[in-house]
Chains A and B, each alone.
Chain A
Amino acid sequence: MTVELGHFALILALTIALLQGTLPLRGAARGDVRAMAVAPAAAVVQAVLVAVSFGCLVAAYVVSDFSVLNVALNSHSSKPLIYKVAGAWGNHEGSMLLWVLILALFGGAVAVFGGNLPLGLKARALAVQAWIAAGFYLFILITSNPFARLLPPPADGKGLNPLLQDPGLALHPPFLYLGYVGFSMAFSFAVAALIEGRVDAGWARWVRPWTLAAWVFLTIGIALGSWWAYYELGWGGWWFWDPVENASLLPWLAGTALLHSAVVVEKRDALKGWTIFLAIITFALSLLGTFLVRSGVLTSVHAFATDPERGVFILALLVIIIGGSLVLFAWRGPSLEGGGLFQPVSREGALLLNNLLLTTAAAAVLLGTLYPLLLEAMGGGKVSVGPPFFNAVFLPLMAPLVVAMAVGPLLPWKRGALAAVLPRLWVAAVAAAAATALALALLGDAAGIGLLGFGLAAWLFAGTLTEVAARIQLFAVPLRVSLRRAAGLPRAAWGMTVAHAGLAIAIAGMTGAAIGKTEVIRALAPGETVAAAGLTIRFDGLSQVAGGNYEAIQGRLTVKRQGEPVAVMTPERRIYPVEGRETTEAAIRSRPWGDLYLVIGTTEADGRTVVRVYVNPLVPWIWTGALVMVVGGAISLADRRLRLGAPARRATVPATIPVATARSEG
């Protein structure tokens, strides 16, 4: 019964979405306030309905209702509660429902918190949002119904993939989706602005918090996924340039560019067309990420071929949403040019360089990800595009970006001079040189150009601190005054400082992981030792351990430094009998300067067990850096100017403003 309620709520949500997608649009075109007011009300109702629907599915998982096909296929009564709940989105149908839930919640949030948005913009943005939602409700209801019954119900379910039974991974999809779907707000605002025919500083200010929130969530989602891969996959890799990862990186890159270009719109009323375009592209990449990867076009077209209905539906939706908005952009976009002028060397110029490099990087990653498919479709044969390509193309684009990141914030708006700014970065230059030299001394020159990664990290970190020190006039005025100035700085400024510093930390971590890694693989009998990076690791033996819904073989290893025991570590191999699968649980000893990462493998015929030892310097900095970036985003989100309750800047209903583009068809 619960399940039927969920199904019914979803159908209701669809009808509400259709209403929300039409009436307010008409109202906005005619200046009909009552019709426009339908949008926020409908958005709230929609959010409630989808929440009910999703709640029903989760409830079916929690009570292990195996008469629901989805539950029977993806859950098991012996699973811990948290994984019963997480199981609800650990499969195609459930994750689609989570996707539309988040979409509806964002729409509801705009309705509730967007009280100061111009009525017309809000009505149109919510209408666009409703069309996207309607498309995906239809997709779920027609091709991917999570509420389908299975009669008679089986005695128990098939279980959840053990790799998914992990707290990091249970939370990963919701955050990733919060990011992906969050960008739909920027998209809807962009399309609404195109319909209205105007973009101004106010628009940028309204869009920014939603984009920033989506960016924060996506950053968390990507970091969680990469962290999970690091500790769960058992060899200490954290980024693989896999199509699945690229799919989450693409909207992140475009979204980061969007955040920066929106600043230019807000402050200088320039780059408006470009910013709208970025908003469309960012969400387009999110959709591509969610659906094309999900459907397997990128990795295994076979999944699509076996289920052509879904494939065709998704492709049609993408063509309507992305293609439609791009057509609208081609039509209305040209009228959005103009705005404040600026010199190439200026804050705007630096932000433009940021956009150039980030979008090129995104385009390069997209090209590499899609190239095998494109080449094959053209009959050009089969190629693989792996990490060597992405590293060769991506890193040279990121290096100048990081160099410029220290310079840009020091430049004044409108016009500046490098000659005035560069001398102020002497501390950063010294720090970069020192970091590179230190890395060379510690790691030797075998790492080659990779050592520069440390130099870049130090440059960015010191450069970021230089900027904030200059702002608060540290050392130039009494400390008391500086502190007062620091407290008075806008939160958005602090957000930028913290986020940039976080990236510097993450870069140091990535560089350390890439060039400083030590790996030793040995088959050891109990009592034998292996040496790695100044440590002696003794294999004490194996024992059987029973977990909740798995059996584990646990290895015991004693780690010593110069004869002194420092740790006893217990990596495991787990066998999940229900799913018939095995996972590797690495034992990780994490310290600020790096991780010791131990894995046990199979036991060979002679009684020796394969032990893999990895020493991964600075790896924790990757996720620390990501966390600092997230904190930076959150601080910026708390800025007074961006607060959702900030006073409305204009009172006129934009619909009454003549649409400038009507003539440009000729």
Chain B
Amino acid sequence: MTRHRRRPVRAAIASALLPFLAIGAAAAVEPREMLADPALEARAREISRGLRCVVCQNESIDESHADLARDLRRLVRERLAAGDSDGEVTRYVVSRYGDFVLLKPPLKASTYALWFGPLVILAAGAVAVAVYFRRQAAPASAAGAPTGAPPSAASTTPLSAEEERRLARLLDRETDPSRVDEGHRP
């Protein structure tokens, strides 16, 4: 095992635990590393929580026991003490290790799909639901209309026996008052 492959606790035991759990080590920020000024220390903690320990599995440098994480924690505090803004400290670390160190990926061309993906999925789902209701609302009796019936039934193919049955069931249900409300109303 080289130092290079020597990853901290999380990764070292990953082979055994991988299927089951997130693996973490005890919180690692040590009292002797901390800044005397509580406001500055709070900023340092906040920044550290957003920076990934690059040699770890999925930990921030604030949580990690790794030597490199400790050195980065110290660097963050030194820079803050020297008067850097939070953004400057983060930018410095990113300039050395790349976007990989940011636990919150930056919004840029390569991450548009990540950040807007969920929104697009939600919108697509909402559209699909809307289409579903529109088709339902279309008069089921109009021949060939895009109803909830099998799409292959459109215009050219005549309805099969099964589809006739289904349509009949559909219409029947629509007019059957006993089926209207199965809810439990007080």
Contacts and interface: CB of A to CB of B under 8 A. Distances in A.
A543 interface: no
B2 interface: no
Given A234-B27, A347-B183, 17 more contacts: A233-B25, A234-B25, A240-B58, A299-B14, A340-B173, A344-B133, A363-B118, A367-B117, A383-B105, A384-B101, A389-B104, A412-B183, A413-B183, A601-B30, A658-B161, A660-B162, A663-B152
Contact of A364 (B17, B118, B157): B118
Contact of B148 (A337, A382, A522): A337
A359 interface: yes
A228 B151 CA distance: 50
B90 interface: no
30 contacts: A91-B16, A161-B13, A163-B23, A164-B16, A233-B24, A234-B25, A240-B24, A242-B22, A299-B58, A300-B11, A300-B57, A338-B149, A341-B174, A342-B136, A344-B133, A360-B125, A364-B117, A375-B110, A375-B111, A375-B114, A382-B98, A382-B99, A383-B102, A412-B185, A470-B186, A521-B29, A521-B30, A601-B26, A610-B30, A610-B31
B95 interface: no
Interface string A61-91: 0000000000000100000000000000011
B21 A225 contact: yes
B32 A604 contact: yes
A357 B126 CA distance: 10
Contacts of B178: none
A381 B104 contact: no
A235 B58 contact: no
B105 to A, nearest CB: 5
B19 interface: yes
A383 B133 CA distance: 40
Interface range on chain A (Cβ under 8 Å from partner): 35 or more
B180 interface: yes
Contacts of B111: 371, 375, 383
A90 B16 contact: yes
B63 to A, nearest CB: 7
Nearest to B59: A240
A267 interface: yes
Interface in B62-113: 63, 98-105, 110-111, 113
Given A300-B11, A337-B151, A389-B105, A367 B114 contact: yes
A466 to B, nearest CB: 11
A244 B133 CA distance: 38
B50 A388 contact: yes
Contacts of A478: none
A95 interface: yes
Interface string B112-129: 011101100110011001
B21 A384 contact: no
A385 interface: yes
Interface stretch (A23-31, A50-58, A289-297): A289-297
